[in-house]
Structure 1
Amino acid sequence: MNLSNAVVAPQDIWQSVCRVDDLIADSGVVVWLDGEQVALFYLPGQEQTLYAVDNRDPRSGANVIGRGLIGSLQGELVVAAPLYKQHFSLRDGRCLEDAGQRLRVWQVRMEGGQVEIRCF
């Protein structure tokens, strides 16, 4: 078998960004990931307990999403942006009020007491 022509699947690379103890229940904390600010939301008691979205508000350009309020709107878990109050889905980052706005989302997990974000 000629391995020089084999296709190599990309590896999952998970970056540790903070300790699980750094998380605040039902609130956000902001971490650095490769020069970008990522807002982590820890929601114990929910089916999915941890979410990672861009901390930069696409409307204002301010890094404030991690300070947003968590809630449920139209059956969806959302974070309300602090400045203009638009609501972003924690699941997929879309803005419920404006389809032209979106937050980047990352896969996130707790592993061995650490919070890790999947890098691409």
Structure 2
Amino acid sequence: MHRTEPARAVELGTPDGRWIAVCDTRELEPDSGTAVLLPGGGQAAVFRTADGEVLAVGNRDPFADAWAIADGITGSVDGAPTVSSPLHKRLFDLRTGVCLDDPSRALPVWPVRLRPAD
């Protein structure tokens, strides 16, 4: 945890234009994912890059049909942050959700905003 930094809520944008708070930035470890539950039963994988950028993609691996993306290994390809699926080692761009090994597959991408925590 990063308790010395100010509390900031991580909010994800929904398709209907709402924002939902899912966690606090202090709960996110650099280069690691955190699975969060979404209204309606879905999940997102929220990542904090080494430079502090917060990104969110769907947590369901489209190749394994399992809730696992948040447990993947992070890295980068040509400066783009990536995550490797822990089950089939498929590589996804965290900014676009596109699978770099098979561009016909992609993870949903969630808009992220940070705001001061209440």
Say yes or no: TM over 0.5: yes
**Cα deviation digits, residues 44-102 of structure 1 (max 9, x gap):** 425xx000000000000011100001111244211000011110000110000102210
> SS at the partner of 1:66?
helix
The gaps in structure 2 that reach 5 residues or longer are 1-15
Number of the residue aligned with 2:47: 41
Number of the residue aligned with 2:11: none
- Amino-acid identity (%): 40
CA RMSD across the alignment: 1.9
CA distance in 1, matches of 2:94, 2:108: 10
Look up the equivalent residue of 1:38 and give its one-letter code: A
On the 8 A contact 2:31/2:75 being kept in 1, the answer is no
1:37-116 matches, within 5 Å, as 37-45=43-51, 49-113=53-117
On the 8 A contact 1:92/1:105 being kept in 2, the answer is yes
CA distance in 2, matches of 1:113, 1:70: 27
CA distance in 2, matches of 1:103, 1:51: 12
Look up the equivalent residue of 1:25 and give its one-letter code: P
| Superposed displacement of residue 12, structure 1 | 3.9
The gaps in structure 1 that reach 5 residues or longer are 1-10, 115-120
Larger Rg belongs to? 1
Q: Are residue 18 (structure 1) and residue 23 (structure 2) matched?
A: yes
TM-score, normalization: structure 2? Answer: 0.79
CA distance in 1, matches of 2:117, 2:71: 24
TM-score, normalization: structure 1? Answer: 0.78
**After TM superposition, what 4+ stretches of structure 1 lie above 6 angstroms from structure 2?**
none
